[in-house]
């Protein structure tokens, strides 16, 4: 193989991918069999198998037990808005952001007190093992799970206050900024870092994804005078959604 030349299995996968994208192999069409790929491209069974594995890892095809490999329906990505926009109504930030996109979102949540892991403690600037309130969310759009979130708040900040439980009490569901303000903690900065990784099995099960699919992870932390008062991981399926930021120019 000369320098710069693709391995055979990638060249086969590239040609099959092109046929899927341009519609020559439309959704729900059976992918050519391993024998057909071997014959059409003049490659070995191993190359044909590896090419098919590439397409499966990319989420373009799926295997059906006892039937073969088929082209998957390709979803049209929808937007999830992220912004600092707030109204005077005290609406939940998720509801604000989705309303801006013309959708109606719902969510489920559960909270519990846990010991901060070393990684979460580092993000919050506290000692590992300190108690935090962990809240897990499943956000839905028209009943479909679209986003997961897990947040952690130091109980040294919120413990024994009316806002200790993020989704309960008089300010339940109003978001970090408004809840913290109620206990005289002024949030003045938020940092978000976006990355991507293969989804964990439990995440993909909740989101209706396929094993091996990639998810986007937004690592968000709210600060008050340099002190972290909440950190969260927001998980979004990368094949179905795009993260849209609306940032004010100051």
- Cβ proximity of 176 and 222 under 8 Å: yes
pLDDT at 1: 38
pLDDT along the chain (250 residues), means of 10: 68 94 93 92 94 87 86 79 55 52 76 97 98 96 90 97 93 91 95 93 88 89 97 93 79
**Closest by alpha carbon to 81, among 102, 109, 111, 56?**
102
Give the span between the Cα atoms of 207 and 78, in whole angstroms: 15
What pLDDT is attached to residue 80?
A: 77
pLDDT of residue 102: 56
- Structural tokens at position 224: 């008050």
At what angle are helices 34-41 and 45-57 packed, to 10 degrees? 110
Is the Cβ–Cβ distance between 149 and 167 less than 8 Å? no
Q: How far apart are CA 74 and CA 38, in angstroms?
A: 26
pTM: 0.74
């Amino acid at each position: 193989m000369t320098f710069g030349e693709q391995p055979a299995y990638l060249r086969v996968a590239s040609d099959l991918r092109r046929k899927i994208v341009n519609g020559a192999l439309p959704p729900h069409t059976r992918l050519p069999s391993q024998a057909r790929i071997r014959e059409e491209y003049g490659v070995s069974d191993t190359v044909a198998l590896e090419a098919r594995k590439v397409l499966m890892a990319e989420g373009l095809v799926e295997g059906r037990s006892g039937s073969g490999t088929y082209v998957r329906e390709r979803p049209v990505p929808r937007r999830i808005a992220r912004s600092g926009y707030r109204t005077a109504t005290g609406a939940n930030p998720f509801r604000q952001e989705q309303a801006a996109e013309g959708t109606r979102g719902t969510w489920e949540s559960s909270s519990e007190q846990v010991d901060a892991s070393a990684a979460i403690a580092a993000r919050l600037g506290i000692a590992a093992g300190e108690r935090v309130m962990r809240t897990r969310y499943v956000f839905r759009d028209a009943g479909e799970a679209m986003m997961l979130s897990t947040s952690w708040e130091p109980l040294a900040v919120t413990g024994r206050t009316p806002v200790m439980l993020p989704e309960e009490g008089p300010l339940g569901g109003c978001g970090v900024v408004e809840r913290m303000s109620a206990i005289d903690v002024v949030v003045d900065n938020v940092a978000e870092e976006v990355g991507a990784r293969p989804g964990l099995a439990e995440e993909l099960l909740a989101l209706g994804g396929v094993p091996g699919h990639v998810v986007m992870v937004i690592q968000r932390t709210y600060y008050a005078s340099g002190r972290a008062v909440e950190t969260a991981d927001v998980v979004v399926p990368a094949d179905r959604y795009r993260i849209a930021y609306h940032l004010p120019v100051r």
